[in-house]
Each structure stands twice: as structure tokens, then as C-alpha cells.
Chains A and B, each alone.
Chain A
């Protein structure tokens, strides 16, 4: 390394998404005399999509410290693909600039003479490249649900979508399984009946979403109700401390309310540390007509009746939420934009959540259980999610869409909050299902005929056409 301290190259030993990287300097290993360092950003013409930025360099590995899998290396616990790297350049005695911030790809090792002439060719990609390799979005609403979580408050999330017929919990480890039972008689039916009761085709899609939901129909025996429920083997109690709340949120589209006499969405709760209980959102029929009710059972009980659902409980989507907590004692039913507070029979001294059950005659989607501080998933968050479920990010400007996608993909807001232009074009509802974040970003950029790029410090910029044309 002979460049007189002008360039410095670091790799972080911390997780790539760590808020504070832990930089380990590798400058002395850089072999620029063999091959220059090279960075590339941008695109060739204004009609092209921006390619991810890249960095290429060669590191000296004569001591095998950068040999992937070498357990005697001081870097063995963290060195490898995916790590964050950083290249700086001192331009003048007073000015140093970030030249590249990105993520190492699979390093390529060369051994010419063992222990003497060994090198590692490192290629890194910038944030756009990392987004190109990110997990595809499940659906537009799922992207919002997963991308809007604060402080790890989302405990369970079952998208309940018609995608490979999955009922997986994409956050926790509690899958749901189909079941069918005759409530009145307490009988169960065959496995074939159970599978037939959960349908993955022909179910409606939330207006703002892009994957149909699952549909549950009654069993072949009169009185039987289909359900999808967490298996008992997977049930884990999550205790809530004072100041925390448990929130159930989900979407229902009922075909008939007459068959559902019990719960439609359930969050199992253990109150005051003992026994079993549940917070059930049900559609009930009584003297005030058909309406949604939140029923809290167990050591602490309570009931909230809402007037919603009387006139048109079937054939439309409802956004529903149930909120139970202690210190403060919170007990609320949310139906679309309405909030109905209630009172509990006693102040709970402890709560735990452990699983869920869905059993409407109709369709359900995006069932979520949050357990955290009351400010971590609020009614405002619920309403924002409902807006996405209704409109699917439609009417966003391109800049708003870029910011949404970056947020959903987990990019820290500090990396784009002040560098994304508003945009001039107005976009259609998003169709994020199956798309990786970079593809979704490029759709927005192309719609704007703008330009997206990542600067040397790792900040993502979006230039709309006002900026590009100099208007």
C-alpha cells in the first residue's frame, strides 16, 4: 500500500444493518499497485435504469486472515459477504470525502504461493445493490405492516394470503393450521374436511392489496365452523410488563354472520399471570342488531359493543383492532376509523399473549399481534395501515413512493429523509407482491423519468425531473 495515507478502507465487524458500525481498518491490506480501486455509480443514458454502485479492490491475504472460514483468523467471527465497508479519500489536507459506502459481496480468494502471494478480490455494492438482494415483498399491505414496526413491537404476523397457501407467522414462530370443529356438538371432522374448509382461491383481495386472502367456509356437517389457529405446541407466553399493551389487528370480510356465534379474530390472553383467556372480536346478533363486539374473558373480563356492522356486515372489508393493557388499563375496540373504549372488571396486574385464532365465515387477512408500549402501535398506526389497505399507496407522488419503499425495505430514514425529491408524477396503487425493493424503486423512478443514486456516504438520493431538467 503506497498511497501515502490518501485513501482509507474499512470493514465493519458489526451487523450490516447496525445503527453504529464498528469499523476495522484494512487500508494496509489494499494492493492498489496490482489493481486500482474502482467505484462506479449511475447510468449511461437518461432512459436507462440506474445500476447499483460498485467498488472493486484487492486485499493482501498472505496471512490468511481474510480466508473465509479460517477459524484462527482474528476476523473469523465476522469476516465475509454482506459486511458493510467504507472507503474515504483525503482530497486536500483539509477535505476528506466519503467515496463509497456499501456491502461486500462474496469475496474471491487467490492463492499463487501459499503464505506469500495470496489475495482477496473484494467487490462491494451500494445500498441499491443491497436492496436488489433483499427479501421480496409479500404484498403491498404486508410491506407496510412489516416496514412500519417500531421497537420490535410486532410479536406475530400472519398475512393469511393466497400465496403458496401459507399461514406462516412471518415475524414469530407460530404458524397457523386449519381446523374445523362443530362448535355446538364439540366434534371434530376429518383432516380432509379441515383442508377443504380453508380456501386459497376465489377469495377477495383487500382493495389496496395485491394478493387475495384466505377464505374460510363452514364444514360439511351442519354447525361446523372452519378456523385457522395456532397449534398448541407452538404457543409461547409473552408476558407484558406494566405500561405495555397487547393489540390485535386484522381485516375481515364476512360472507355470513349467522354462523359465527363466537370469535372471528382472537388473541389469546393470560391475565394476572394465571389461567387462560382471550380477547375476541366477534360479530354478534342480539337486540341491537348485528354488530362487532370485543369480549375479554379470563381472570379479568369486559365487553365492548360497537354499533358498526349492523347494516352491511357482509361483503365488505372491516379493519378491526382490539387493545388490552395495564398501567394504564387500556381496553378498546377499533372498527375502521372508530375507537370504542370500554372498562374491565378489574385492573389487570399482568398480561401475556400467546397465539391466535381466526374463524369467520368469510375472509381474513393480515392478522397481527403487537405487545409493547402503548406508543409503539397506536390507533394512528392502525389508521395509516388501513389507508394502505384501502388505497394501496395510490396517488402518491413518485418521491413519496420512493420514500415509502425505502422505509419498507428497512433503510434508516437518516439515509434518505433529506435527499429524496418530492416528485412530480402521481402513481398508481403499488403492486409490491413478489417484487424486490430495487425493482419497486425503479418503477417509481421510471414513472418520474428521474434518477436514483447512492452517494459515497451511503445516502440514497432521488432527483425528480424538476431537478434533472433544472426547472
Chain B
């Protein structure tokens, strides 16, 4: 996965930043089967309870526990992010507009040239939703974003791979 790089100067202000809520006690159910729990007491104590309920139609009885563990492992700590990021296309050149409009769902975006005070995680995110506003005097693209999942907040993974990872290594075993 490669990131689309968007310069910091393109971001419309005001910008709202709100960390992703902690997920520290998910309840994941397999329809007609197992229920997976995973609890991070330290996270609950510090950030309060975040206990989403998720229903899976999976055939694999291990999936609920795996997903619950995955969530508390990588989402029990709030991750910096901008839930919504706006870009004003009227101020951009044709080539710049094309780069912004080429960003699709599930795509990794990296903000370049951000102030050093920005948390590293806030400059990297995945696009989950897109809103377009179009009129004579305005052309706005707005992304709904979520934080990356990885050992570093600035890159996804590294993911566990059979041909290169080891069981006692640090590579992430994804749900």
C-alpha cells in the first residue's frame, strides 16, 4: 500500500482534530455460536469504557475472539486523527485537483509538510467516506478518515507474512 501525499497547505481550515475513541471491551458474537471478549483494563481505567457490539456471520468459531483481541490490541489507545478533512479545489491547479479527486475509499493518505507539532498519527489516515460540495463559487472535497493500524502511527503494519515473518516477531497478525 502506498500513500497519496497531500501537502499540508492544501488543507482547508478550520480543522477539527478528535482522537479515535478507545475500543477496550468489544463484544464480538458469531451468529448462533461463540462470543469473543477482550478487555483492556488499563484502557478502561484511563479512557473510560468503549465496548462496541459486533455480530459476525462467520463460519469460523475463532473469529470473534480474534477480532476482539485485534481491536483491544490496536485500538485500545485513542489514535490522533482528523475525523473530517476538507480541501478546497477552487484554490488548486488542475493537476492538484486530479490528485485530490483520485483519492478513493480505503486509501492511505499522508499529509506532507505538516508542522512538527502535529502528532505523527494525524498526518496519516485511511479515507472511509467522501463528500463533494459543488457550486459556482465553491468546490469542496471532504474526507471522513480513520487512523492507520500498525506498530507505527505513520505506516500500516508491518503485517505478518508467512514467507518472511516469525511467530515470536513483531509483525502484526491482522484479523
Q: Which of A283-322 contact B (CB under 8 A)?
A: none
Contact A91 B59, CB 8 Å, known A44-B128, A45-B146: no
The interface bits of chain B over 143-155 (1 if a CB of A lies within 8 angstroms of the residue's CB, else 0) are 0101001000000
Pick the interface stretch among B6-14, B48-56, B113-121: B48-56
Partner of A40, one of B31, B83, B131, B136: B131
Q: Interface digits, B1-33 against A, CB 8 Å rule (1 contact, 0 not)?
A: 100000000000000000010010000000110
Interchain CB contact under 8 A, A43 and B101: no
Instruction: Name the residue on A nearest B89 (C-beta).
Output: A91
Is the pair A451, B105 in contact by a Cβ cutoff of 8 Å?
yes
- CB distance B133 to A447 under 8 Å? no
Given A3-B136, A92-B94, A467-B106, the answer on whether A41 and B130 have CB atoms closer than 8 Å is: yes
What chain B residues lie within 8 Å of A238 (beta carbons)? none
Determine whether A232 belongs to the interface, using a CB cutoff of 8 Å to chain B.
no
Given contacts A449-B67, A471-B157, contact A43 B98 (CB under 8 A): no
How far, in angstroms, from A265 to B124 measured CA to CA in the complex?
Answer: 63
Q: Is there contact, CB below 8 Å, between A471 and B98?
A: no
B52, B83, B135: which contacts A47 (Cβ < 8 A)? B52
- Interfacial residues of chain A within 220-252, with CB under 8 A of chain B in the complex: none
Closest to A429 in B: B59
> Which of these, A44, A430, A463, contacts B105 with CB under 8 Å?
A463
A427-B128 contact given A3-B136, A37-B135, A465-B174, CB 8 Å threshold: no
What's the Cα separation between A42 and B104 when bound, in Å? 10
B98 touches A451 (CB 8 A): no
Taking CB atoms, residues of chain B closer than 8 Å to A130 are none
Q: A425-B58, A451-B105 are in contact. Are A465 and B134 (CB under 8 A)?
A: no
Q: Indicate with 1 or 0, residue by residue over A327-339, a CB within 8 angstroms of chain B CB atoms.
A: 0000000000000
> A91-B94, A470-B157, A471-B159 are known contacts. Are A444 and B128 too (CB-CB below 8 A)?
no
* B175 contact set on A, CB distance < 8 A: 449, 465
Known: A469-B157, A471-B159. A91 touches B134 (CB 8 A): no
For residue A137, CB closer than 8 A to chain B, the reply is: no
Q: How many residues of B contact A (CB 8 A)?
A: 44
A453 at the interface (CB under 8 A from B): yes
Q: How far is the CB of A441 from chain B (nearest CB, A)?
A: 11
Q: Is the CB of A427 within 8 A of B59?
A: yes
Q: Are B156 and A469 neighbours in the complex by a CB distance under 8 Å? A: yes
Nearest-neighbour CB distance to chain B for A36, whole angstroms, equals 3
Provide the bound-state CA to CA distance between A92 and B97, in Å: 9
Q: Which residue of A lies closest to B21 (CB)?
A: A45
What residues of A have a CB within 8 angstroms of the CB of B126 in the complex?
A: 46, 468
B91 to chain A, nearest CB (A): 15
**What residues on B are CB-neighbors of A47 within 8 Å?**
23, 52, 54
CB within 8 Å for A394 and B59 given contacts A38-B131, A41-B129: yes
Q: How far is the CA of A91 from the CA of B101 in the complex (A)?
A: 9
Question: Restricting to A450-468, which residues have a CB under 8 Å from any CB of B?
Answer: 451, 453, 455, 461, 463, 465, 467-468
Shortest distance from the beta carbon of B125 to any chain A beta carbon, whole Å: 11
Smallest CB separation, A123 vs chain B (Å): 15
A29 lies within 8 A of chain B by Cβ: no
Residues of B within 8 A of A3 (CB): 134-136
Name the distance in Å between B60's Cβ and chain A's nearest Cβ: 6
A426 at the binding interface (Cβ < 8 Å) = yes
Q: Known contacts A41-B130, A91-B94, A444-B57; is A46 also within 8 Å of B146 by CB?
A: yes
Shortest Cβ distance from B169 into chain A, in angstroms?
A: 16
Contact call A42/B134, Cβ cutoff below 8 A? no
A42–B130 CB distance below 8 A: yes
Q: Are B136 and A37 in contact (CB under 8 A)?
A: no
Q: What residues on A are CB-neighbors of B20 within 8 Å?
A: 45
Point out the residues of chain B lying under 8 angstroms from A461, CB to CB.
105
Question: B101 and A46: CB pair below 8 A?
Answer: no
A443 interfacial by beta-carbon distance below 8 Å? yes
Question: How far does the alpha carbon of A2 sit from the alpha carbon of B134 in the complex, in Å?
Answer: 12
Known A-B contacts A32-B134, A453-B105; A428 and B98 likewise in contact (beta carbons under 8 Å): no
The answer for the CA separation of A433 and B98 in the assembled complex, in Å, is 44
- A40-B131, A41-B105, A45-B128 known, 20 other contacts, Cβ within 8 Å: A32-B136, A36-B133, A36-B138, A37-B135, A39-B130, A39-B132, A40-B130, A46-B126, A47-B52, A91-B98, A426-B58, A427-B59, A446-B57, A447-B58, A449-B67, A451-B128, A465-B175, A469-B159, A470-B159, A471-B1
**Can you spell out 29 A-B residue pairs with CB atoms less than 8 angstroms apart?**
A2-B136, A3-B134, A3-B136, A7-B134, A32-B134, A32-B135, A36-B133, A37-B134, A38-B133, A40-B131, A42-B144, A43-B129, A43-B144, A46-B126, A46-B128, A47-B23, A93-B94, A99-B134, A394-B59, A425-B56, A426-B58, A426-B60, A427-B58, A428-B31, A447-B63, A463-B106, A469-B149, A470-B156, A471-B174
Residues of B whose CB lies within 8 Å of any CB of A are 1, 20, 23, 31-32, 52, 54-60, 63, 67, 83, 94, 97-98, 101, 104-106, 108, 126-136, 138, 144, 146, 149, 156-157, 159, 174-175
Give the top 3 A-B pairs by smallest Cβ distance, nearest first. Answer: A470-B1, A42-B129, A36-B135
